Structure 1
Amino acid sequence: MLTNGPIGVFDSGIGGLTVFGSIAKLLPQYDYVYLGDNKRSPYGDRTFNTIHEYTWECVQWLFKQGCPLVILACNTASAKALRTIQQKDLKDDYADRRVLGVIRPTAEVIGDYSSSKKIGVLGTAGTVQSGSYKLEINKFFPDLKVYQQACPLWVPLIENGEYNKPGSDYFVRLYLDELMAQSPDIDTLLLACTHYPLLQDRIQAALPQHIKVVGQGEIVAHSLADYLQRHPEMETKITRGGTRNFFTTTDDTEQFDKTASIFFPDAVKAGFVNVEG
């Protein structure tokens, strides 16, 4: 039987910290466990089956920590693994647990940011190739034109701590130029990878001022708050102690701790875990 426990937050690496930071700020009363699969990051160029396998291993690890609810704070995992997890995996052994992603809550509101009804989506190759954002956005905003651009070098830059160095500007402009060449009328850019807000200042600086750059942290946080309000049977299963525990699948936790400190004022000391097999 499911006992009460923390909310689990998963990402393929450190990017999900941008979402977790917003969630913890809006809903500080709950306990949380964050897991970053840094050892196997990035997920963006991996196959559907591999992404599902890795994501499900991590979700099950969070379940074993007592989490009744897990947030996939990773667009690639949300695009390529979430549906299988929700429709198949949970029914087998975890029917009382829930797993939520970041794509649907973002798709529900992104059209409200655009005046031209033309938006750009910046994501990993896996997210872009899945077509998930086009499909979901058009459900809520059928008149919105969605342009996509894969940015395969951005996650490695971020995971290796190079995102705040001048050399990253070249790679930022490279993909922005390719996206904006698709339409000069794009007025809103969605950062459809939770890593990308770490580049947001450089992205905004490389664009005309009228173009909005939208991250997902606050959107997902408010969506989660709404979900918990609508599902008291789940909300009552989440413990309230305000604790935040961090784990990573790489035994070199120093870089993770350093990056996490950007989003959390208290020092972060991540633990090492092996989730495989």
Structure 2
Amino acid sequence: MITNQPIGIFDSGIGGLTVFSSILKALPQYDYIYFGDNARAPYGSRSFNTIHQYTWECVQWLFQQGCPLVILACNTASARALRTIQQQDLEKAGYQDRRVLGVIRPTAEVIGNYSDTKQIGVLGTKGTVNSGSYLLEIVKFAPEVKVYQQACPLWVPLIENGEHEKPGADYFIKEYLDQLMGQCKDIDTLLLACTHYPLLAEKIKANLAENFTVVSQGDIVADSLVDYLNRHREMEARLSKDATRRFYTTTDDTSDFDNLAAMFFPEEVKANHVAMKG
């Protein structure tokens, strides 16, 4: 019988570790399970139905491990699956007492504060960009901000395959940045709207003028979770607090996941394999 009730952190691969590390710094006392669907990554180029199916399968798996609260540390999943999960799936499956949160709304609430010109560039997967989620959400909180989007379909595969630090990645980073900046010369803030992209942050900054602000989501999502738990004391009381963390991945060979996770966590990471259907 499951007695601990950890917070679940989900991503299509390793990108969510950038968010998880920030959450751990802000809330180290809780138990956590991180689940990366690396075997089926990247999600960004997949159909709406497939992204929803994969995300919901992984969320249910985290529920079965005892997680009453799951964070989708994935922009594509947040853009394509979160609303359906929140509004339909939880009730249909009898999970009315569970909660699933995403990364888009917390980011949209504050991103306007970073820009002086009020011209913001959003870098994301095809799924996130095509959903228009940031266009819709940012205007709610900062109607004066103009948003320009650029899909970067090759960035996640580079990261998931451990190629992002090699010189060959530089060409694709510059290519997408040039396409984005070609839309508006007054952009002064770039939102890394994929939790994988902070792993490219230094290479991205090397292609930009010094006055640019490059925004990653980790601290934003962590601050939002702190606020959520303060406002929802009934959920906070349910969460177990033994400061444990467990890692799972759908890829057969977990060694690549373990090695990449070592960039974020001081202790050795030993992920367990989980087999999914698709």
Q: Shared fold (TM-score greater than 0.5)? A: yes
How far is 1:3 from its partner?
A: 6.3
Secondary structure at the residue paired with 1:8? Answer: strand
Is this contact kept in 2: 1:32–1:245, CA < 8 A?
yes
Could you tell me which residue of structure 1 aligns to residue 274 of structure 2? 273
Q: Secondary structure at the match of 1:19?
A: helix
The corresponding residue for 2:207 is 206
1:8 aligns to what? 8
Write the distance in 2 (CA, Å) between the matches of 1:249 and 1:119. 35
Q: Does 1:249 align with 2:234?
A: no
Instruction: Please give the residue correspondences for 1:1-277 in structure 2 after superposition, counting only pairs within 5 Å.
Output: 5-92=5-92, 93-276=94-277
One-letter amino acid matched to 1:86: Q
5+ long unaligned stretches in structure 1: none
1:4–1:237 CA contact under 8 A, matched in 2: no
CA RMSD in angstroms, aligned pairs only: 1.0
- Give the ranges of 4+ consecutive aligned residues of structure 1 lying more than 4 Å apart after TM superposition: none
CA contact (8 A) 1:122 1:191 kept: yes
Matches of 2:268 and 2:107 in 1, distance apart? Answer: 30
Amino acid at match of 1:170: Y
**Number of equivalenced pairs:** 276
Distance 1:204 1:267 in 2: 29
1:243 and 1:201 map into 2 onto residues whose CA distance is: 31
3-state SS in 2 of match to 1:108: helix
Give 1:276 deviation, angstroms: 2.6
- Counterpart CA distance in 2 for 1:116 and 1:89 is 40
Deviations 1:40-98 (A, max 9, x none): 00000100000000000000000000000000000000000000000000112100000
What is the percent sequence identity of the aligned residues? Answer: 71
The one-letter amino acid of 2:7's match is I
Q: How many angstroms apart in 1 are the aligned matches of 2:4 and 2:38?
A: 28
CA distance in 2, matches of 1:175, 1:11: 23
Deviations 1:157-200 (A, max 9, x none): 00000111111111110000000000000000000000000000
Tell me, what secondary structure is at the counterpart of 2:33? strand
Partner Cα distance (2:244, 2:252) in 1:
23
How much has 1:127 moved relative to structure 2? 0.2
Return the alpha-carbon distance in structure 1 between the equivalents of residues 19 and 166 of structure 2. 23
Q: 1:4 deviation in Å? A: 5.1
* Distance (whole Å) between structure 1 residues aligned to residue 277 and residue 168 of structure 2: 35
CA contact (8 A) 1:107 1:133 kept: yes
Mapped partners of 2:3, 2:238: distance in 1: 7
2: CA distance, partners of 1:100 / 1:258: 28
Q: Give the residue type in structure 2 aligned to 1:66.
A: G
Report the TM-score when normalising by structure 2. 0.98
> How far apart are the structure 1 equivalents of 2:32 and 2:130?
31
Quote how far apart the aligned CAs of 1:271 are. 0.1
Distance 2:267 2:166 in 1: 24
SS in 2 for 1:262: coil
- Report the Cα distance in structure 1 between the residues aligned to 2:276 and 2:22, rounded to whole angstroms: 26
> 1:137-173 deviations in whole A, cap 9, x for unaligned?
0000001000000000000000000111111111110
CA contact (8 A) 1:82 1:101 kept: yes
- Give the distance between the partners of 1:172 and 1:207, measured in 2 at CA: 11
Report the alpha carbon displacement of residue 275 of structure 1 after superposing the two structures with TM: 3.1
What is the alpha-carbon distance in structure 1 between the residues aligned to residue 69 and residue 277 of structure 2?
A: 21
Q: Secondary structure at the match of 1:263?
A: coil
SS in 1 for 2:86: helix
Q: Is the 8 A contact 1:30 1:242 kept in 2?
A: yes
SS of the residue 1:109 aligns to: helix
